[in-house]
Amino acid sequence: MSTLPSAIVNQDEQYLVDNARRRKQLSIWFYFLCVAIALISVVILVVLMVSIWSQGQSRLTTDLLTRAHSELEIERSGMWPAILGSLFVCGTCALVALPLGVGTAVFLEEFKPTQKVLRWIHGFVQLNIANLAGVPSIVYGLLGLTVFVYMFNVFGQIRVNESAGMEIMGYKHFYQVLTLEPGHVVFAPQTDPTVRQITFDEPFQAVDPDGNPIEISIWTPGTPKPTDPEIRRRTVRSGAIGGTITERNWYYFRLPFDKSFLSGGLTLALVILPIIIIAAQESLRGVPSSLREASMGLGATTWQTVRDVSLPAALPGIMTGSILAMGRAIGEAAPILVVMGAAVAKSSGPQHLMDDAVTMPVLIFNWAGRQQDEFKELSAAAIIVLLVILLLLNSTAIYIRQKVQKAQS
Amino acid sequence: MSSVTPAIVSEKNSDDLSDQTLIHIEKLNAWYGDFQAIHDLSLEIPKHKVTAFIGPSGCGKSTLLKWINRMNDVVPGARAKGRLTIDDDHQGQRKEIDVLDPNLDVVGLRRKVGIVFQKPNPFPKSIYDNVAFGPRLHMKTSKSELDELVEWSLQKAAVWDEVKDRLHGPALGLSGGQQQRLCIARAIAVGPEVLLMDEPCSALDPSSTLAIEDLIFELRSQYTIVIVTHNMQQASRCSDKTAFFFEGRLIEAGNTEQVFTKPKNKQTDDYVRGKFG
Ligand SMILES: Nc1ncnc2c1ncn2[C@@H]1O[C@H](COP(=O)(O)OP(=O)(O)OP(=O)(O)O)[C@@H](O)[C@H]1O
Ligand SMILES: [Mg+2]
């Protein structure tokens, strides 16, 4: 007994009891503090929801979901093109960012090189990814502008109302020319793409708006004008001017990408790539190395180990990270504004790969800044729609994740 | 055979231990970066016998074990010099696998030399999928052949009776001892010749330990087994040959009975009597 330190021997019993009670009380206080903090964030969320709901609920109509933005019929404006546009942009973003991100994470975590130089490169890549995650998204917007929209101008400059750059596939150029029948046009195939306009003074082969080939004859002023509408539709005034018009298939492909939804999606992919990589790395790191050893010990190659052991075990975590990243992508406005512009007049979703698009955040941004009360209400309603779409996406992803998790254990 | 105690068996066979050597280790040196973990180690591991590695913590037992099937490949900075070969009866022809050859087919080596780790590490899959994992990597089997192989492996590893009703249930739902036997079944399922076991019982309770020791004793008629253990009773109970290591060097190796009763070396004597380590 005498060997015990004095601190243990000379205990004040009363102090021990008091101290224990104080600590217990402190613990209870801390508990309430935590509850309060948690409640504050819930309250803020509820206030936000209620105010948006009260502002926008009257505009939650089918018009909102099915029609396009309109300056003339403000109260019948809608966001259908923006919904489509957002889906296309985010779809591109997911298609690019998910495989790239998971692939990079697998490379960084599972294929750790043993040589010194490679290890150095490895560390360098790792450091840069951590840095990229902290770059503001508008900076990625500027990057996307030079890389995807203009492609450093190596494929030629983009000019307004002209097919510029290097067209690769999915397009046909025609000269569009008026016939004698008012309002009726025919198209002559363009042979030399550099000639933007030609003058017709000889009969030529053309197609009508339905795509049927027809023979076009020339009418010279001074001679009797044909009266039969059938013939008038196949006759062009001598000296008539044909301007270029381009027909684009959905797979129309051109470099540079210009202000297309593709540019927007690729830029968003850059924004969320570091997030996905880091999340995927984190969950791969969480897979116990004993599982990899077990797999290698059975004679699996590194690739087989990744495919059959590491990735399946890390999948729930990877999916959680991807869901969060996609949520960020769908609500991101700044880089989209830089890359795709702020125009909201488009009346349909993207028609081909190089088509431009409106996205929901840009439309909301535009509407919220308008003078008219209708637009203010519309923007609140559009926010509700955006939130609902976000919740739907998230809950499907969470559902899938739960299924995967259950299938594994 | 099973009624005879291991000590007697090893005494009877002690003379022909050398000419049935399966794994030859000659002047092996191994490093982790600049740190040398194994110094000039020479050892012969007999075929179809149980060889125990004993020695204080950090003396290089696991390192040597992992070099036998090249598990050290993935450790950055791990390298080895010297000779480490395994005899291979390839269609009646005697061949030698040079384990340290950098161009060796490691996947094939690991199929021949299976490994069981200290902590049971079943995959988070079903019991069946755990055992079928290796065969699916290496072999082309029909469903019924695979079923048969899984059952055979689980029976060999003495867990079949405990898991046969829940083959498709999660492997992580088994007890620690059952998981470890499942891991042995998983290792056996690819048809190895050598089984390396790194302290396979250290995470288990006494009765599971006993079950695994019985299993090791059963398995050695078909497999060459190398077991690392800190448990002297275990080494003396279930091994034929014992090798004692100290600070990366082989101090003494020989017939288990001899190492434990009449060690030639003072250090060995101290260690097996529990005076240090
Ligand atoms: N990955 C590694 N990197 C660097 N050094 C290592 C590594 N693994 C082991 N070592 C060192 O090599 C030496 C031998 O280690 P080893 O794991 O072979 O010991 P052991 O005999 O198995 O010990 P134990 O009985 O505790 O398992 C130790 O000094 C250890 O610190
Ligand atoms: Mg060890």
For the beta carbon of residue A261, count every other beta carbon within 10 angstroms. Answer: 31
Same domain for A369 and A235: no
* Residue that terminates a domain, selected from A255, A280, A301: A255
Strands A185-189 and A166-178, by their bridges, are antiparallel
Side-chain half-sphere CA neighbours of B21 within 13 A:
15
Strands B224-228 and B241-246, by their bridges, are unpaired
- Residue A263 is assigned to a structural domain of this protein: yes
Q: Whose CA is nearest to atom 17 of ligand 1?
A: B62
What is the pTM for the complete model shown?
Answer: 0.82
B111 vs A308: CB contact, 8 Å cut-off? no
- Residue A14 is assigned to a structural domain of this protein: yes
**Which pLDDT value is given to residue A25?**
95
- Residue A76 is assigned to a structural domain of this protein: yes
Confidence bin at A263 (pLDDT 50/70/90): very high
Number of residues that make up chain B: 277
- pLDDT tens digits for A68-110? 999 888 888 999 999 999 999 999 999 999 999 999 999 999 9
The domain that holds A274 is classified in CATH as 1.10.3720.10
Contacts of B209 (CB under 8 A, 6+ apart): B177, B201, B231, B234
B134 vs A298: CB contact, 8 Å cut-off? yes
d(CA B239, CA B257): 9
- Residue A134 is assigned to a structural domain of this protein: yes
**Which pLDDT value is given to residue B1?**
37
Give the distance (Å) from ligand 1 centre to CA of residue A115. 21
Confidence bin at B156 (pLDDT 50/70/90): confident
Same domain for A189 and A321: no
Instruction: Say yes or no to pLDDT of A60 above 70.
Output: yes
What is the residue-averaged pLDDT of chain A? 89
- Residue A130 is assigned to a structural domain of this protein: yes
For the beta carbon of residue B18, count every other beta carbon within 10 angstroms. Answer: 9
Confidence bin at A26 (pLDDT 50/70/90): very high
Same domain for A145 and A169: no
Q: Whose CA is nearest to atom 29 of ligand 1?
A: B58
Same domain for A273 and A134: yes
Confidence bin at A393 (pLDDT 50/70/90): confident
Instruction: Say yes or no to pLDDT of B13 above 50.
Output: no
Same domain for A402 and A263: yes
* Portion of chain A with pLDDT greater than 90, in percent: 49
Q: Which of B76, B115, B119 minimises the CB distance to A297?
A: B115
Contact A269, A97 (CB under 8 A): yes
Instruction: Please give the ipTM for the structure prediction.
Output: 0.85
What ranges in B157-255 are assigned the alpha helix state H?
160-163, 176-188, 206-219, 232-238
Q: Which domain holds residue A181?
A: 159-255
**Which pLDDT value is given to residue A163?**
56
- Residue A1 is assigned to a structural domain of this protein: no
Contact B1, B218 (CB under 8 A): no
Contact B208, B175 (CB under 8 A): yes
- pLDDT tens digits for B166-221? 999 999 999 998 999 999 999 999 999 999 999 998 888 888 888 889 889 888 88
Same domain for A147 and A36: no
Domains and CATH numbers, chain B: 20-272 (3.40.50.300)
Same domain for A247 and A203: yes
- pLDDT tens digits for A203-241? 888 888 888 888 888 888 888 888 888 888 888 888 888
β-bridge mates for residue B78, sequence order: B32
Give the distance (Å) from ligand 2 centre to CA of residue B212. 18
d(CA A140, CA A395): 28
CB within 8 Å of chain B, chain A residues 212-271: none
| Interface with chain B: mutation pick from A122, A298, A406, highest number of B CBs within 10 Å | A298
Same domain for A269 and A233: no
**Total domains present in chain A:** 3
Could you tell me which residue, B182 or A150, shows the higher pLDDT?
B182
**Which pLDDT value is given to residue A160?**
57
Burial A162-182 (b: 16+ CB within 10 A, else e): ebebebeebbebbbbbebbbe
**Which pLDDT value is given to residue B18?**
44
A293 vs B121: CB contact, 8 Å cut-off? yes
Same domain for A47 and A23: yes
Question: C-alpha A397: how far from its chain's center?
Answer: 17
- Residue A145 is assigned to a structural domain of this protein: yes
What is the residue-averaged pLDDT of chain B? 88
**Which pLDDT value is given to residue A162?**
59
* Residue that terminates a domain, selected from A206, A229, A255: A255
User: A119 CB near a chain B CB, below 8 Å?
Assistant: yes
**Which pLDDT value is given to residue B276?**
60
Same domain for A401 and A304: yes
Weakest mean pLDDT among A333-337, B88-92, B190-194: B88-92
Same domain for A265 and A145: yes
Same domain for A278 and A145: yes
The binding-site residues of ligand 1, defined as CB within 6 angstroms of any ligand atom, are B 32, 35, 37, 57-63, 75
If 0-12 CB within 10 Å is exposed, 13-18 middle and 19+ buried, where does residue A83 land? Answer: buried
